Structure 1
Amino acid sequence: MAYLDADALYAAAAGRTAVPPAPAALSPLEWSVVALAKNESLRSLNRPGRVSRAIGGLFGLGETSPLADPRLEALRRLAIHAWHRGFALPAAEIDRVIAAGFTEAQIEMMVVSITGIRIGADRRGRAA
């Protein structure tokens, strides 16, 4: 039995090409970056100054290093904001993630997932 893609047929007749929508999924590696961002503070997004590095070295306080992959680092930064602020994300971070190659659908899916986990944790905390 043959398959006929009617959408592509009509798009081609109109002189347009059908563009398949981009997948709104994250890879397992990307989800692990999102999960690891849960335990990071908003302060980890700032570069430490000289004094901060010196005190950290003196007292053995490590600092969070940015990820080597710029695409994953952009995702990590946005995920940290999402874990702390939910949907109130800085526009600059959203622009950075989109420039790194993620779609708005992927961003929305990530934030919805994080928000669901945050709400579930709040409810479990109140019920206990």
Structure 2
Amino acid sequence: MAYLAFAEPGMPAIPGYAVPAADAPASFSALEWSVVALAERDPLSSLRSPGRMAVALGSLFGDRPNPKLADPKLEALRRLAVLTWHHGFQVAQSAVRGFLEAGFSAQQYELLTGSIVSARVKRRRQTR
């Protein structure tokens, strides 16, 4: 009886069987990182639709540019990034759920929050 150890490197693969790849490290594209960087300057009010007073003032003095992004996936990223820039790890579960439902992974969420929180800490140390 022959025995093949398929786990050893250099051994032939089993036909018709795909070996599950190891989890690739989470990453964002350059466009997605730029959305995260721009979200740092967005106020929390950019996440809400403008109220009657804001609409009235906008008609008198000119409208503010709308920071909302046309791509729903990028808008979900922007929304979570704005919340994370302002609140750190204390983000509502509904915002995280929206981020995940937009097509991002839990690993990308961890990468996003980790990088934003470390940038916040670094900036606080520089201002002291």
Normalization by structure 1: what TM-score? 0.81
Alignment of 1:1-128 (within 5 A): 6=7, 17-126=19-128
Runs of 4+ in 1 over 4 A off after TM superposition: none
What's the % identity of the aligned pairs? 44
Distance in 2, Cα, partners of 1:92 & 1:39 = 22
One-letter code of the match for 1:84?
Answer: H
Q: Please identify which structure carries the higher helix content.
A: 1
Give the aligned length: 120
Distance in 2, Cα, partners of 1:16 & 1:31 = 33
Structure 2's unaligned 5+ residue stretches are 1-5
Cα displacement (A) at 1:40: 0.6
Instruction: Assess if the C-alpha contact under 8 Å between 1:44 and 1:63 holds in 2.
Output: no
Aligned Cα RMSD in Å? 2.6
> Secondary structure of the equivalent of 1:113?
helix
Give the number of the structure whose alpha-carbon radius of gyration is greater: 2
Distance in 1, Cα, partners of 2:96 & 2:30 = 21
